Amino acid sequence: MENNLTIAAPEENAPEAETPTLKLSKPYNFEGRTFTEIDLAGLDTLTADDMIAAEKYTSRAGIISPIPDMTMEYVCFIGARVSGQPIEFFKRLPPKDATALKNKITGFFYGEG
């Protein structure tokens, strides 16, 4: 069987991809530190294993959804996974910023960000 896999070399003058960062609506205090943005650059290194771990996490949390990646619990898990912050960091975000996080992560999954 012939392998038709082609690996493209990176373009020499290609612009660098923008680092996914979530700007917070106002300064956010967590464990004695103040944050104005959240670095989500780790989204680029996620794997299917990370997504499976998030699904298992939501299932253990008792969340049943036909689209688990659209739940806030799933998004908080992924945010923690890619940022290095504890999940509590994301669970304590104000609603406006939690919704922006959800939009940023699901947009990334579905090719919108």
Burial class (CB in 10 A: 0-12, 13-18, 19+), 100: middle
| 9 belongs to a structural domain | no
Which range of residues forms the domain containing residue 57? 24-109
The answer as to whether 73 is a domain residue is yes
Q: Taking residues 101-109, what's their average pLDDT?
A: 94
pLDDT of residue 111: 86
pLDDT for 15 equals 45
What's the rounded mean pLDDT across residues 77-84?
Answer: 96
pLDDT digits (tens, 9 = 90+) for 39-78: 999 999 999 999 999 999 999 999 989 999 999 999 999 9
- Model confidence, pTM: 0.80
The mean of the pLDDT values for the chain is: 87
Average the pLDDT over 78-92 and give the result: 97
Residue 44 in domain: yes
What's the whole-number mean pLDDT along residues 90-108? 96
User: Does pLDDT of 14 surpass 90?
Assistant: no
User: Is 47 domain-assigned?
Assistant: yes
* Confidence grade of residue 20 (pLDDT, cut at 50, 70, 90): confident
Tell me how many domains the chain contains: 1
* Contact yes or no for 40/82 (Cβ under 8 A): yes
Is 13 domain-assigned? no
Whether 35 maps to a domain, the answer reads: yes
